[in-house]
Amino acid sequence: MAANTTEARTIPTADWVEIPALHADPYPIYRRLRQQAPVHWVPAVNRYLVVGHEACHTVEQDQERFSADESESLMKRAMGHSMLRKDDPEHDAERKAYGGVLRPKAIKQQWEAIFQRNHRTHAARLRAAGPGADLVAEYAAPCAAENLRMVLGLANATHRDLQRWSQTMIDGTGNYADDPQVWAEAERSSREVDEAIDEMLPVLRGEPDGSLLATLGASGMPLESLRANFKMTIGGGLNEPRDAIATTTWALLSHPEQLASVLAGQRWSEAFEESIRWVAPIGMYPRQATRDTELAGMAVPRGARLGVVVGAANRDPEVFEDAESYDIDRPRKPHLAFGGGNHFCAGAWVARSSVVRVALPRLFAEFPGLRLDPAQRPAVGGWVFRGVLKLPVHWD
C-alpha cells in the first residue's frame, strides 16, 4: 500500500557532513542529524542517510517500498550480485541454499571444536608476541579469519588471504569516495576468490566436508551467484567476529567495574550484545525506494538511494537510555547490529559461538590481568564498517 506523501515533510540537506569526519568518529555527526530529523540528504555520500531507530527498523521490514536491490550498488561492483542485494523470492532461495551450515546445531556439532582449536593457536601467537602486542593483529583478526576459512571450505587459502580479501572487498563496498586504488585492490581480490572457488569446487564435490562451499556447490546455485554470495560471506563473516572480539575487549578493559561483573557471572553474552549495539561492526547498508513514499513523516522520492545507518540507530536516545555509554546492565532492547527482517545476518550464530562461547571467556581466563597498554592508545575507525583497528594490551 502506497504511503500518503501529501503532508510529509521535505527531507533536509546535510551538506556539512564530510567522509573523513565520518570515518574518524561518526557519532557526534549522528547525534546532530538525529536532533534535526530522522532522514537527511547527504551530498558527500550521494544518498539519504536514515539515522533514527524507528525509521531504520521500518526500512528493514518493508522490502516492497525499500528494495535491497539497489542500482549502482558499490557492493555489487566489489563482490558481485549476492543475496544481500536481492529481495524475496530470489533472496530467500539463495539463503535457503546455505542449508544448515551456519545454524546452531551444525555449529555445536562441527564448528565449535574447530573454533576452540583455532583459539589455542592464536592465543599462543598473542602470548609469543608479548606484552604490548596488538590484540587485533595477533589474535582477533587471524583467529576470526581462520575460523571463517574452515567454515567456508577453502583449504587452498590461508588466514592471511582471507584477511586481505575481506578487507579489500569491504573497502570497495564502502568506497563512497570513489578511490581508484580501492577499486583496483577489490577487483584483484575478487578475481583471486573466483580462482580459489574454481579450484576447490571439484574437490569438494568429490569429497564433501560439510563446509559452506561444499553445500553451495551441491545446491544447484548458478556459479555467478555462488561466487557473489561467497564473497559477501568472506566480507561480513570475518569483520563481524573480529570487531566484536576487539570492541568487547576494549569496552570491558575501559570499564573495570563491568568487567568484574562479567567475570563474576560469566556474562559474556550480555557484554557481546552491548558491544555490537555500542559500536555496530556493519554501520550502514543501502536500500532504494521503489516508489514515492513516506518514512518517519518525511517524503522519500521514488528511486531514492538510502543508507540505513545502524550505527546511529543503535545509539538513538529514544530507544536506549544513555545511549552513548557502554552498559551491560541496560534494559535489553533489540539492537539492529545484525540487521532485521528477511535480511537478518545469516552468520549471527557463528559470531555468537566463536566470540561468546570461545574467544572472550578464554582470553580473559588465559591472560590474567589483561589490560590496556598505557603507552599506546587504541585506534578506532570507520563508519560504513567500524571497529577497533589496533588494541595494544598487557597481561600478568
Predicted pLDDT at 4: 54
| 51 vs 342: which has the higher pLDDT | 51
Rounded to 5°, the CA angle 231-233-236 comes to: 110
pLDDT (mean) for 217-226: 95
Given a cut of 90, is residue 281 above it in pLDDT? yes
* Distance from C-alpha of 122 to C-alpha of 149, rounded to nearest angstrom: 14
Predicted pLDDT at 188: 97
The full set of domain ranges for the chain reads: 19-394
Cut 0.85: pTM above it: yes
* Distance from C-alpha of 367 to C-alpha of 325, rounded to nearest angstrom: 26
Q: Peptide bond preceding 89: is omega within 30 degrees of 0, i.e. cis?
A: yes
Predicted pLDDT at 338: 87
The phi-psi region of residue 153 (left if phi > 0; otherwise alpha if psi is between -120 and 50; otherwise beta) is: left
The per-residue pLDDT for range 43-85, each reduced to its tens digit, is 999 999 999 999 999 999 999 999 999 998 999 999 999 999 9
pLDDT tier for residue 330 given thresholds of 50, 70 and 90: very high
Given a cut of 70, is residue 18 above it in pLDDT? yes
The phi-psi region of residue 376 (left if phi > 0; otherwise alpha if psi is between -120 and 50; otherwise beta) is: beta
Predicted pLDDT at 1: 39
Contact 26, 386 (CB under 8 A): yes
pLDDT (mean) for 332-344: 82
The per-residue pLDDT for range 283-300, each reduced to its tens digit, is 999 999 999 999 999 999
Given a cut of 60, is residue 89 above it in pLDDT? yes
Predicted pLDDT at 5: 56
Least confident of 97-111, 155-169, 308-322, 363-377: 97-111
Burial class from Cβ neighbours inside 10 Å (0-12, 13-18, 19+) for residue 388 reads buried
The cell numbers describing 167, all together, are 578487507
The per-residue pLDDT for range 133-144, each reduced to its tens digit, is 999 999 999 999
Indicate the residue type of 145: A
Given a cut of 80, is residue 6 above it in pLDDT? no
Longest CA pairwise span in the chain (Å)? 65
For 19-394, which CATH superfamily applies?
A: Cytochrome P450 (1.10.630.10)
* Distance from C-alpha of 110 to C-alpha of 259, rounded to nearest angstrom: 31
Least confident of 80-89, 244-253, 335-344: 335-344
Given a cut of 70, is residue 207 above it in pLDDT? yes
Contact 169, 190 (CB under 8 A): yes
CB atoms within 10 A of CB 320: 21
* Distance from C-alpha of 91 to C-alpha of 69, rounded to nearest angstrom: 10
The residue among 155, 154, 150, 163 whose CA lies nearest residue 106 is: 150
SS (H, E, C) the chain: CCCCCCCCECCCECCCCCHHHHHHCCHHHHHHHHHHCCEEEEHHHCEEEECCHHHHHHHHHCCCCEECCCCCCHHHHHHCCCHHHCCCCHHHHHHHCCCCCCCHHHHHHHHHHHHHHHHHHHHHHHHHHCCCCEHHHHHHHHHHHHHHHHHHCCCCCCHHHHHHHHHHHHHHHCCCCCCHHHHHHHHHHHHHHHHHHHHHHHHHHHCCCCCHHHHHHCCCCCHHHHHHHHHHHHHHHHHHHHHHHHHHHHHHHHCHHHHHHHHHHCCHHHHHHHHHHHCCCECCEEEEECCCEEECCEEECCCCEEEECHHHHCCCCCCCCCCCCCCCCCCCCCCCCCCCHHHCCCCHHHHHHHHHHHHHHHHHHHCCCCEECCCCCCEEECCCECEEEECEEECC
- State the residue for C-alpha cell 589490560: 371
pLDDT (mean) for 110-139: 97
Average pLDDT, the chain: 94
Predicted pLDDT at 2: 45
The cell numbers describing 188, all together, are 584483484
The residue among 395, 388, 396 whose CA lies nearest residue 136 is: 388
